[in-house]
């Protein structure tokens, strides 16, 4: 059999994406990479983890926040006597009780100090450290995971939605789609289009994927209702994950709460909860084999700002959900909010690299060895001890 790694190397050299090559259809590489599913949700804009999972048991919290993170006395649900779940996430309580929801309250990428969303997101999706030029980082860690997975096909991984997902970009073929797209081409037009796109790799590959996906869509995935894009995306992702797809990634924007956070954050958290519950409902029995990780480029300031919001910070929260998650608990340690415990006197101190959680999940669910994870998927990462996020 043709060596996949060798093939990818050679096709990369001539600038031809493997996705469009007839030899690389899913029939050729039919062996599915196991039954486990991984969903990575990028929360763009930096979610305030201190509001989503409120450390109301920390004595310093009250002095830092006046209108936010007010704990169980103000509508949040107690989780463990120290943390409380924001009311926007309260629909996830049954998952917590079933041991299918967990969070790591003080994590971050290696990104520090400049606190730019865009660089923060680039680093989160690239999965690299601080030693590389951010502008040059065009590929993502889910793509490098694919390159390390034997027996995967282009259908194995999907990015879903209209926005660009750097996390899945790279040499390994992966698909991207939005449930809103449709095409109605005559066979003649399809042939002619294929011909005129032939010499332009970008158009050739994108159109080939588009035609293939349109031909394979389940009906009625689109709701067509305004404001429900996240549900369409979750349903489409679940539809694919119920088939050959094992990895899906998409983003939910709108977390940049500089002002009036108590007004906007509940809505965003509600969207996140609805997205997770839609995945659970549509995945059916496959939910038991699914790990969902919701990640954000960084956290927000521990102090509420002058506009009843929060500014860009450092330490933030990872949310994990799914039947494959060992949940009902906080993962990792809590740094504390006392003045001396803060990062730079203003931010939550990150205690662990967010990539370590993702790496351990890939190790457990896709059997990727530690050397590959620390060497190429997340170059330079020290995975440390196993947080045992998944069952």
Binding residues (CB under 8 A) for another protein: these are 44-45, 66-67, 113-119, 134-135, 162-164, 169, 175-178, 180-186, 188-189, 192-193, 195-200, 202-203, 206-207, 209-210, 213-214, 253, 256, 258-259, 304-309, 311-312, 344
Give the nearest distance from C-beta 203 to another protein in angstroms: 4
Residue 50: what are its φ and ψ, rounded to 5°?
-70, -15
Task: Characterize the bridge pairing of strands 290-296 and 175-177.
Answer: unpaired
- Is the torsion defined by CA of 318, 322, 323, 328 positive or negative? positive
Give the nearest distance from C-beta 70 to another protein in angstroms: 13
- Distance separating alpha carbons of residues 201 and 139, to the nearest angstrom: 17
User: CB neighbours (10 Å) of residue 197?
Assistant: 17
Give the nearest distance from C-beta 172 to another protein in angstroms: 15
The interaxial angle of helices 354-366 and 141-148, nearest 10 deg, is: 30
Give the nearest distance from C-beta 318 to another protein in angstroms: 22
Give the nearest distance from C-beta 322 to another protein in angstroms: 26
Nearer to another protein, 81 or 306 (CB): 306
DSSP codes, 144-206 = HHHHHSTT--GGGEEEESSS--GGG-SSS--EEE-TT------HHHHHHHHHHHTT-HHHHHH
Nearer to another protein, 12 or 134 (CB): 134
Nearer to another protein, 97 or 164 (CB): 164
Nearer to another protein, 82 or 197 (CB): 197
Nearer to another protein, 202 or 281 (CB): 202
Nearer to another protein, 117 or 326 (CB): 117
Nearer to another protein, 5 or 198 (CB): 198
Give the nearest distance from C-beta 181 to another protein in angstroms: 4
Nearer to another protein, 45 or 299 (CB): 45
Nearer to another protein, 81 or 345 (CB): 345
Nearer to another protein, 271 or 289 (CB): 271
Q: How far is CA 369 from the centre of its chain?
A: 21
User: CB neighbours (10 Å) of residue 270?
Assistant: 17
* C-beta contacts of 287-290 below 8 A and 24+ residues apart: 287/322, 287/323, 288/323, 288/324, 289/35, 289/36, 289/37, 289/323, 289/324, 290/36, 290/37, 290/38, 290/39, 290/241, 290/322, 290/323, 290/324
Give the nearest distance from C-beta 72 to another protein in angstroms: 22
Nearer to another protein, 200 or 333 (CB): 200
Report the C-alpha dihedral over residues 81, 349, 389, 126, rounded to 10 degrees. Answer: 150
Q: Rg for the chain (alpha carbons), in Å?
A: 21
On whether the CB atoms of residues 105 and 316 are closer than 8 A, the answer is no
Give the nearest distance from C-beta 137 to another protein in angstroms: 12
Give the nearest distance from C-beta 117 to another protein in angstroms: 6
- State the DSSP code for 73: G
Across the chain, the runs of DSSP E, i.e. the strands, are 37-44, 53-54, 77-78, 84-85, 101-108, 157-160, 175-177, 247-253, 290-296, 316-321, 329-330, 352-353
Q: Backbone dihedral region of 322: left (phi > 0), alpha (psi from -120 to 50 degrees) or beta?
A: left
Give the nearest distance from C-beta 121 to another protein in angstroms: 9
Report the C-alpha dihedral over residues 308, 311, 314, 316, rounded to 10 degrees. Answer: 40
Give the nearest distance from C-beta 183 to another protein in angstroms: 5
């Amino acid at each position: 059999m043709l060596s996949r790694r060798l093939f990818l190397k050679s096709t990369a050299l001539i600038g031809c994406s493997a996705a469009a090559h007839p030899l690389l259809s899913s029939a050729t590489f039919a062996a599915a990479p196991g039954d486990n599913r991984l969903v990575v949700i990028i929360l763009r804009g930096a979610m305030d983890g201190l509001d989503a999972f409120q450390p109301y048991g920390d004595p310093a919290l009250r002095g830092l926040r006046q209108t936010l993170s007010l704990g169980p006395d103000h509508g949040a649900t107690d989780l463990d006597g120290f943390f409380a779940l924001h009311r926007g996430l309260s629909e996830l309580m049954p998952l917590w009780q079933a041991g299918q929801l967990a969070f790591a309250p003080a994590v971050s990428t290696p990104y520090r100090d400049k606190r730019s969303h865009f660089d923060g997101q680039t680093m989160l999706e690239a999965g690299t450290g601080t030693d590389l030029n951010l502008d040059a980082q065009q590929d993502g860690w889910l793509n490098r995971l694919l390159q390390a997975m034997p027996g995967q096909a282009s259908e194995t991984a999907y990015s879903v939605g209209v926005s660009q997902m750097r996390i899945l970009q790279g040499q390994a073929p992966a698909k991207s789609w939005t449930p809103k797209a449709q095409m109605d081409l005559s066979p003649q037009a399809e042939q002619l289009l294929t011909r005129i796109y032939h010499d332009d790799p970008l158009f050739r590959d994108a159109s080939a994927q588009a035609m293939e996906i349109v031909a394979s869509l389940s009906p009625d995935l689109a709701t067509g209702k305004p404001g429900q894009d996240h549900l369409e995306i979750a349903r489409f992702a679940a539809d694919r994950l119920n088939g050959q797809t094992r990895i899906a990634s998409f983003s939910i924007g709108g977390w940049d709460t500089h002002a009036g956070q108590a007004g906007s954050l509940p809505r965003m958290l509600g969207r996140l909860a609805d997205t997770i519950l839609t995945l659970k409902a549509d995945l059916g029995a496959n939910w038991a084999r699914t790990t969902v990780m919701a990640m954000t480029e960084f956290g927000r300031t521990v102090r509420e700002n002058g506009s009843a919001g929060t500014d860009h910070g450092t330490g933030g929260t990872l949310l994990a959900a799914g039947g494959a998650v060992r949940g009902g608990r906080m993962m990792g340690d809590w740094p504390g909010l006392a003045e001396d415990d803060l990062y730079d006197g203003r931010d939550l101190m990150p205690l662990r690299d967010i990539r370590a959680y993702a790496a351990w999940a890939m190790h457990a669910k896709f059997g990727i060895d530690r050397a590959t994870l620390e060497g190429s998927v997340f170059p330079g990462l020290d995975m440390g001890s196993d947080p045992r996020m998944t069952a």
